[in-house]
């Protein structure tokens, strides 16, 4: 035998040896689509009077464990940081490294964590139940979860539903629950093998896989009442929404150039400034979490300003600050203007100009609409208004009705440089131009009308475009019917906010005060399984029905109203007068 032949045989032998040492799927043949089958476990399923330190499961083929520390749900809770998971050939071993509770039923729900090594087919409905006492606890709690916001909802399968013992001081923000489960793709959940007792129920979107809720940026829901579970409970519903529970406070305040900045701990929804010179010499703006105060005259001195803040969960902060306004050589922030250019109009044009700083003065000589090479419509003070003249002065509205006899398809807003002056005495350095097009009559729908099947009031009925932007809204006090007319033929969505506290916006509730988020209902067509409305030119969509969605808790029947049935509410309950209604 030649030396070359010897080398070739030796090399071939090493290749064959390496191939035999690997666990791999056989070449050829049908694809393995069968999941691993459990042959047996120690302890056996439904065992009683056992307190294992180690759990083993044997399968009919080699298996792997996929992310076991997060995928395997163990109830009641144990310290999962101490648990060791191991997959070796066809056996899964779980070393607990801790003492289990006495007379307690434990459930190991493996979900899709155990998979075969060839095609990663997960073992189906793999669960192990045993008791450290003489009986298996068998009580169940079942129900549904959903996100209160109707659009762009996260995957409901990433939600956790948990029960905390009423005697515990922990909750969904501080520790993992005693019993835990995950819903299916439709939001249905069941917690099994519960021991009789009193519990608090929560659900949360566990985006960071911590088995706890993050109260700043994860949606969560809670049941107000303690649940007494001594029989099987069904149809519990929990709505989830984001509600930032962090403390509302002033983190820092200091002079910034000639202005005074106040850095807030979180975004706010309401702001009020109390000062004798407000919007005369003292002005302000809010940008993200920073409140900036301006003073046109005061320098090298301070003044007392009262600030009242409200965050999204209704927490209020009423405080005094001593704002100092200094001389400074720092360059002042340039005035910037954005417009709603591209907006369509019908019988009245509405131009919206947004400023990065409070507006102080307008030069009307250089402000006008043009509609052809020679046609101009001068803009006068009567055509302009600030969104709220008593507040930040950063949004200017310009409106003008257009006569039907005036044939105009396009209007262009013009403002030359030095038209707008802010409170820092900065003028716009560039011209402003915005274009608006008239809606074509044959592209208008006659309208959309319908009924909200609830006796709750007031209602905020909002017409949204398909991207969720607000097109129009109605505030209903004594009726449950709505109508939108003269709208563009396109695709819409409709949502309804039940304005329980009558502040004309949606509120996410407050966990610490046991206040649930305000309900949001929306149009949904079960025939098409769509939440969108396609509106065509010269068409009318009538008799739309918007049904209530389940509220958090167990179901309570609500009378369904006829679409034309009004609800009379005492005016003192709504804190309004007859004069308010007439106006």
User: What's residue 19's pLDDT?
Assistant: 41
Q: What tokens does 285 get?
A: 């703006």
pTM to 2 decimal places: 0.83
Q: How many residues does the chain have?
A: 583
- In sequence order, what DSSP letters do the residues of 63-132 get, joined into one string? EEESSHHHHSEEES---GGG-EEEEETTEEEEE--SPPPTT-EEEEE-TT-EEETTT-PBPTT-EEEEES
Phi and psi at 381, nearest 5°, equal -55, -30
Q: Are 160 and 71 contacting, i.e. CB atoms less than 8 angstroms apart?
A: no
**Interatomic CA distance for residues 410 and 371, integer angstroms:** 6
Cα-based angle 313, 315, 318 (whole degrees, multiple of 5): 150
CATH topology of domain 139-240: Immunoglobulin-like (2.60.40)
Choose among 113, 80, 218: nearest CA to 160. Answer: 218
Residue range 516-575, pLDDT digits in tens: 999 999 999 988 889 999 988 888 899 999 999 999 999 976 555 444 444 444 444 344
Going by the DSSP 8-state scheme, the letter that residue 15 receives in this structure is: H
Quick count: other Cβ atoms within 10 Å of Cβ 313? 22
Residue range 440-479, pLDDT digits in tens: 877 788 889 999 999 999 999 999 999 999 999 999 999 9
Residue range 509-530, pLDDT digits in tens: 999 999 999 999 999 998 888 9
**Weakest-pLDDT range from 16-20, 160-164, 176-180, 430-434:** 16-20
* Higher per-residue pLDDT: 14 or 401: 401
CATH 3.20.20 fits 448-574, yes or no: no
Classify 390 as helix, strand or coil: coil
Residue with token string 């003028």: 427
Going by the DSSP 8-state scheme, the letter that residue 241 receives in this structure is: B
- Alpha carbon 492 to its chain centroid, in Å, reads 20
CATH of 337-438, one of 1.10.10.10, 3.40.50.720, 3.40.50.920, 2.60.40.1220: 2.60.40.1220
Residue range 234-276, pLDDT digits in tens: 999 999 999 999 999 999 999 999 999 999 999 999 999 999 9
Classify 49 as helix, strand or coil: coil
Q: Are 535 and 541 contacting, i.e. CB atoms less than 8 angstroms apart?
A: yes
Residue range 1-22, pLDDT digits in tens: 444 444 434 444 434 444 443 3
Mean pLDDT (whole number) for 411-439:
94
Sheet of 540-546: strands edge to edge? Answer: 481-488, 444-452, 540-546
- Domain locations in the chain as residue ranges: 38-131, 139-240, 250-325, 337-438, 448-574
Choose among 416, 430, 424, 427: nearest CA to 379. Answer: 416
CATH architecture of 38-131: Sandwich (2.60)
- Which residues in 114-128 are b (16+ Cβ under 10 Å) and which e? bbbbbeebbbeebeb
**Antiparallel, parallel or unpaired: β 259-264 and 227-229:** unpaired
Quick count: other Cβ atoms within 10 Å of Cβ 142? 16
**Interatomic CA distance for residues 527 and 143, integer angstroms:** 25
- Provide CB contacts within 8 A for 149, sequence distance 6+: 241, 520
Q: What class does CATH assign to 250-325?
A: mainly beta
**Interatomic CA distance for residues 115 and 113, integer angstroms:** 6
């Amino acid at each position: 035998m030649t030396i070359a032949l010897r080398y070739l045989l030796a090399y071939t032998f090493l290749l064959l040896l390496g191939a035999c040492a690997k666990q791999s799927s056989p070449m050829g043949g049908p694809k393995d689509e069968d999941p691993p089958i459990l042959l047996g476990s120690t302890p056996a399923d439904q065992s009683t009077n056992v307190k294992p330190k180690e759990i083993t499961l044997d399968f009919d083929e080699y298996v792997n464990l996929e992310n076991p520390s997060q995928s395997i749900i163990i109830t009641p809770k144990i310290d999962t940081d101490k648990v060791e998971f191991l997959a070796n050939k066809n056996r899964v071993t779980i070393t607990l490294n801790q003492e289990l509770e006495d007379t307690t039923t434990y459930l190991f729900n493996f979900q899709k964590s155990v998979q075969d090594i060839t095609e990663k087919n997960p073992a189906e409905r793999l669960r192990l139940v045993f008791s450290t006492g003489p009986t298996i606890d068998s009580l169940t709690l079942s129900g549904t979860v959903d996100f209160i916001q109707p659009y762009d909802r996260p995957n409901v399968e990433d939600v956790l539903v948990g029960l905390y013992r009423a005697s515990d001081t922990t909750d969904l923000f501080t520790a993992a629950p005693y019993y835990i489960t995950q819903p299916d793709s439709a939001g249905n959940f069941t917690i099994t093998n519960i021991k009789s007792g009193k519990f608090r129920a929560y659900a949360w979107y566990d985006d960071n896989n911590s088995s706890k809720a993050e109260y700043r940026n994860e949606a969560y829901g809670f049941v107000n009442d303690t649940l007494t579970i001594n029989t099987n409970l069904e149809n519990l519903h929990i709505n989830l929404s984001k509600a930032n529970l962090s403390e509302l406070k002033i983190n820092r305040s200091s002079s910034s150039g000639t202005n005074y900045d106040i850095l807030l701990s979180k975004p706010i929804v309401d702001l009020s400034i109390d000062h004798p010179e407000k919007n005369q010499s003292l002005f302000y703006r809010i940008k993200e979490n920073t409140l900036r105060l301006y003073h046109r005259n005061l320098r090298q001195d301070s003044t007392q300003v009262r600030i009242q803040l409200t965050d999204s969960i209704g927490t209020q902060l009423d405080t005094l600050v001593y704002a100092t306004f200094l001389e400074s050589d720092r360059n002042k922030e340039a005035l910037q203007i954005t417009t709603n250019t591209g907006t369509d109009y019908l019988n009245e044009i509405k131009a919206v100009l947004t400023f990065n700083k409070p507006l102080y003065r307008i030069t009307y000589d250089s402000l006008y609409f043009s509609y052809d090479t020679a046609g101009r419509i001068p803009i006068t003070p009567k055509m302009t208004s600030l969104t709220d003249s008593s507040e930040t002065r950063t949004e200017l509205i310009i409106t003008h009705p257009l006569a039907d006899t005036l044939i105009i398809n396009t209007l262009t807003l013009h403002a030359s440089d030095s038209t707008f002056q802010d409170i820092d005495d900065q003028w716009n350095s560039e011209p402003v131009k915005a274009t608006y097009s008239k809606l074509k009559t044959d592209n208008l729908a006659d309208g959309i009308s319908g009924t909200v099947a609830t006796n709750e009031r007031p209602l905020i009925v909002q017409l949204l475009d398909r991207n969720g932007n607000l097109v129009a809204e109605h505030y209903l006090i004594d009726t449950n019917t709505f109508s939108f007319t003269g709208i563009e033929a396109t695709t819409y969505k409709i949502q309804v906010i039940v304005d329980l506290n009558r502040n004309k916006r949606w509120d996410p509730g407050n966990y610490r005060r046991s206040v649930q988020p305000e309900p949001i209902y929306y149009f949904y067509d079960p025939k098409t399984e769509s939440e969108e409305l396609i509106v065509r030119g010269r068409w009318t969509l009538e008799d739309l029905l918007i049904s209530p969605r389940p509220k958090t808790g167990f179901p309570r029947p609500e009378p369904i109203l006829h679409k034309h049935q009004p609800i009379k509410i005492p005016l003192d309950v709504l804190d309004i007068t007859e004069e308010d209604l007439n106006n």
